[in-house]
C-alpha cells in the first residue's frame, strides 16, 4: 500500500505535547501542515516550540538552517477547524476524553473531503468507540505516537472494528514515510505497548513489595543484566507515578480486573504522598539538590577466591560439587531438596551483562559462593546475591512480559514480530520479549510462570494458552 503523497496536506488538531511533534514529523516528510488548537494562541505556541527544537538541531549540526526554515514554513497554524478542509489526513491529539473526541470527529467529517483519512493519537480510548457515530467509520484509524513524538520511533496503527484494511495500510505506509517504524494493532485496551509494558513495572513493584531488594538494586539488575536503558523504578520516577499508576489502573479496569494488570499499592502510596517522581523532586529516589543515588547491593569479590574457568552467565555446570543452574522458577531450596545437591540458582543475564543476580540453597559453602562471585568478577560482571526467591528478577520480569505478548498475539492484537517491534521501538526494550523468550527457551519461560503460579497462588502468573501451545509447535 502506498503512503499519502508528501504533497498532500496534513491536518493536526491539538498542538500540545503530542500534536506539535506530529506536525513537525509531517512537515519534515515534506507535507504542508495545518495545525489547529481550540485554545487561542496554542497552535502558534506549538509551532514556536517546534521552531525552538529545530534551532537546537541546527546548532548541533544535525540539520542545516535552510532545511529547518523549510520545515517551519510548511507548518501553518489555523484559527478554525473549517480551515482543515484541504487535508488528506487529519491526526487528532486533543484531550483524552471520548465524548469530546467523538464530537470533534463528527464535526470534522463534514469539513474534510469524503476520501480524507481521520486518525486519533489516543493512548487509551477504544478507536472503535470514537468512530461509532461517524458516517464513514471505515476511514477512521488510530495513529498512536509515543512521547516525544519526534524522537520515539514507533507508531501503533490501530484498527477499530470498522476500520478499513486499506486505510490502516495507507496510514502504516505514511508513518513509515515519516521516518517511523509502524506496527498494526487491534483496538484493545493498552494496544500493544501500554499493555505488554505493564509487567515491566508490575514485577518490579511486586519484588519491592516482597522485599526481595531495594529499588536501586532492582534497577541495577534490570539494566546491568537485561540491557534495559533504564530500570523500572527510575523510569517510573521519570514518567511520574500519577501517570504510570493511572495507566495501570485504566488497563486493569478495562480488562475487567484481570489479575495480571493489578496495580501496586506501593505505587498508590507514592501518589498519595505526592511523591510523583522527578517532577516533584521525590519518588522512589530523591532528586533534591545534593542527594546521592543509592548504590545497588552487590557482592565484593574476594582476592583469594580462584575464578572457575569456562563459566559464564547461563552456563549450567558446577563449582566444587555445587550445582549451578539458570532459574526455572523453583527456589534454590526446592532444587537442592529435589536433587540432593546444593545449588546456586542464577538469574537471566544477557550477552555482555555487567551484573547478574543469584540465590543459593542453604547448604552452599561460603567459599564456593566466593569462587562464583570471583568468576563473574573476572568477566567484569558484578554479582548481586538475592534471597532465595522464585524466578529472581530479570527472568521473572521477562517471563511475565513475554507471557503478555503471547496473550496479545493469541487475541489477534498483533503478531509476534509486531509485539517485539512495538516493545523495542515504543519503549526501547533491548530485545523484543517474545524473541527473547524464544532465545531463553519457551519451556523454561513456562516453567518459571508455572512455578511462580504454584508458589504464589496468584493467577497473574498463569501461562498464556498461546505460550503453552507454542511449546507444542
Give the Cα separation of 361 and 381 in Å (integer).
21
Give the Cα separation of 185 and 455 in Å (integer).
34
Q: Decide if residue 416 touches ligand NAI (CB under 6 A).
A: no
Contacts 24+ apart (CB under 8 A), 197-200: 197/401, 197/423, 197/426, 197/427, 198/248, 198/251, 198/260, 198/261, 198/404, 199/260, 199/397, 199/400, 199/401, 199/403, 199/404, 200/232, 200/397, 200/401, 200/427
Active site residues: 123, 144, 156, 194
Q: CB-wise, 113 or 151, nearer to ligand NAI?
A: 151
Q: CB-wise, 172 or 406, nearer to ligand NAI?
A: 172
Q: Is-contact 35 12, C-beta < 8 A?
A: yes
Q: Decide if residue 142 touches ligand NAI (CB under 6 A).
A: no
Q: Tell me how crowded residue 45 is: count the other CB atoms within 10 A of its CB.
A: 16
Task: Name the one range near ligand NAI by CB under 6 A: 120-128, 283-291, 330-338, 439-447.
Answer: 120-128
Q: Decide if residue 407 touches ligand NAI (CB under 6 A).
A: no
Q: Decide if residue 147 touches ligand NAI (CB under 6 A).
A: yes
The three-class DSSP label of residue 123 is coil
Q: 8, 23, 27, 94: which one contacts ligand NAI (CB under 6 A)?
A: 94
**Angle formed by the axes of helices 215-224 and 232-239, nearest 10°:** 110
Task: Name the one range near ligand NAI by CB under 6 A: 50-58, 87-95, 172-180, 465-473.
Answer: 87-95
Q: CB-wise, 98 or 378, nearer to ligand NAI?
A: 98
Q: Decide if residue 44 touches ligand NAI (CB under 6 A).
A: no
> Which distant-in-sequence residues (6+ apart) come within 8 Å of 10 by Cβ?
4, 23, 26, 31, 32, 33, 34, 87, 88, 89, 90, 91
Task: Name the one range near ligand NAI by CB under 6 A: 16-24, 51-59, 61-69, 228-236.
Answer: 16-24
CA 382 to chain CA centroid, Å, is: 26
Q: Decide if residue 18 touches ligand NAI (CB under 6 A).
A: yes
Give the Cα separation of 198 and 255 in Å (integer).
13
Grid coordinates representing 353 are: 551483562
Q: 3, 11, 12, 14: which one contacts ligand NAI (CB under 6 A)?
A: 14
Q: 79, 100, 417, 465: which one contacts ligand NAI (CB under 6 A)?
A: 100
Q: Decide if residue 42 touches ligand NAI (CB under 6 A).
A: yes
Q: Decide if residue 17 touches ligand NAI (CB under 6 A).
A: yes
Give the Cα separation of 243 and 271 in Å (integer).
9
Q: How far is the CB of 440 from ligand NAI (least distance, A)?
A: 31
Half-sphere exposure in the Cβ direction for 354 (13 Å, CA): 9
Q: 11, 27, 28, 37: which one contacts ligand NAI (CB under 6 A)?
A: 37
Q: 48, 96, 214, 286: which one contacts ligand NAI (CB under 6 A)?
A: 96
Q: 8, 12, 13, 398: which one contacts ligand NAI (CB under 6 A)?
A: 13
Task: Name the one range near ligand NAI by CB under 6 A: 4-12, 17-25, 366-374, 380-388.
Answer: 17-25
First to last CA, the chain: 32
Task: Name the one range near ligand NAI by CB under 6 A: 92-100, 161-169, 285-293, 308-316.
Answer: 92-100
Q: CB-wise, 13 or 301, nearer to ligand NAI?
A: 13
Q: Decide if residue 22 touches ligand NAI (CB under 6 A).
A: no
Q: 24, 117, 123, 126: which one contacts ligand NAI (CB under 6 A)?
A: 123
> Which distant-in-sequence residues (6+ apart) come within 8 Å of 164 by Cβ?
138, 139
The per-residue DSSP string of 226-285 comes to T--SS-HHHHHHHH-HHHHHHHHHHHHHHTTS-GGG---HHHHHHHHTT--BGGGTBSSS
Q: CB-wise, 92 or 450, nearer to ligand NAI?
A: 92
Residues binding ligand NAI: number (CB under 6 A): 23
Stretch 151-210 residues interacting with ligand NAI (CB under 6 A): none
Interface positions with ligand NAI (CB under 6 A): 13-19, 37-39, 42, 93-96, 100, 104, 121-123, 145-147
Amino acid at each position: 500500500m502506498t503512503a499519502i503523497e508528501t504533497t498532500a496536506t496534513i491536518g493536526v488538531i491539538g498542538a500540545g505535547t503530542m500534536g506539535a511533534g506530529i506536525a513537525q514529523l509531517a512537515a519534515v516528510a515534506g507535507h504542508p501542515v495545518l495545525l489547529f488548537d481550540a485554545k487561542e494562541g496554542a497552535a502558534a505556541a506549538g509551532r514556536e516550540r517546534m521552531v525552538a527544537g529545530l534551532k537546537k538541531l541546527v546548532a548541533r549540526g544535525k540539520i542545516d538552517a535552510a532545511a529547518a526554515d523549510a520545515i517551519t514554513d510548511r507548518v501553518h497554524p489555523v484559527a478554525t477547524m473549517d480551515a482543515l478542509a484541504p487535508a488528506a489526513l487529519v491526526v487528532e491529539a486533543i484531550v483524552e476524553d471520548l465524548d469530546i473526541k467523538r464530537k470533534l470527529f463528527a464535526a470534522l467529517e463534514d469539513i474534510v473531503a469524503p476520501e480524507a483519512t481521520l486518525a486519533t493519537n489516543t493512548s487509551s480510548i477504544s478507536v472503535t468507540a470514537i468512530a461509532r457515530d461517524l458516517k464513514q467509520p471505515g476511514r477512521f484509524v488510530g495513529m498512536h505516537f509515543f512521547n516525544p513524538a519526534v524522537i520515539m520511533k514507533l507508531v501503533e496503527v490501530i484498527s477499530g472494528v470498522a476500520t478499513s484494511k486499506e486505510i490502516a495500510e495507507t496510514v502504516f505506509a505514511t508513518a513509515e514515510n515519516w521516518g517511523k517504524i509502524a506496527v498494526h494493532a487491534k483496538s484493545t485496551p493498552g494496544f500493544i505497548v501500554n499493555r505488554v509494558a505493564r509487567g515491566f513495572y508490575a514485577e518490579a513493584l511486586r519484588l519491592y513489595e516482597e522485599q526481595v531488594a531495594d529499588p536501586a538494586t532492582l534497577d541495577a539488575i534490570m539494566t546491568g543484566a537485561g540491557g534495559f536503558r533504564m530500570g523500572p523504578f527510575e523510569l517510573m520516577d521519570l514518567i511520574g507515578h500519577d501517570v504510570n499508576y493511572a495507566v495501570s489502573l485504566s488497563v486493569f479496569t478495562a480488562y475487567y480486573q484481570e489479575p495480571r494488570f493489578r496495580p501496586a499499592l506501593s505505587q498508590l502510596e507514592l501518589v498519595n504522598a505526592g511523591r510523583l517522581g522527578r517532577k516533584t523532586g521525590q519518588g522512589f529516589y530523591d532528586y533534591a539538590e545534593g542527594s546521592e543515588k543509592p548504590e545497588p547491593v552487590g557482592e565484593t569479590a574476594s582476592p583469594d577466591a580462584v575464578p572457575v574457568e569456562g563459566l559464564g552467565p547461563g552456563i549450567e555446570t558446577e563449582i566444587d560439587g555445587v550445582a549451578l543452574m539458570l532459574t526455572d522458577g523453583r527456589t534454590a531450596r526446592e532444587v537442592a531438596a529435589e536433587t540432593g545437591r546444593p545449588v546456586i540458582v542464577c538469574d537471566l543475564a544477557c550477552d555482555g551483562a555487567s551484573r547478574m543476580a543469584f540465590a543459593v540453597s542453604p547448604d552452599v559453602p561460603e567459599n564456593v559462593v566466593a569462587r562464583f562471585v570471583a568468576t563473574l568478577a573476572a568477566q567484569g560482571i558484578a554479582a548481586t546475591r538475592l534471597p532465595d526467591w522464585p524466578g529472581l528478577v530479570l527472568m521473572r520480569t521477562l517471563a511475565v512480559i513475554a507471557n503478555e505478548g503471547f496473550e496479545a498475539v493469541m487475541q489477534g492484537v498483533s503478531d509476534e514480530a509486531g509485539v517485539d517491534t512495538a516493545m523495542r521501538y515504543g519503549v526501547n526494550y533491548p530485545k523484543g520479549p517474545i524473541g527473547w523468550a524464544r532465545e531463553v527457551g519457551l519451556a523454561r519461560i513456562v516453567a518459571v510462570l508455572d512455578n511462580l503460579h504454584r508458589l504464589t497462588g496468584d493467577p497473574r502468573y498463569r501461562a498464556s494458552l498461546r505460550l503453552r501451545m507454542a511449546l507444542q509447535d
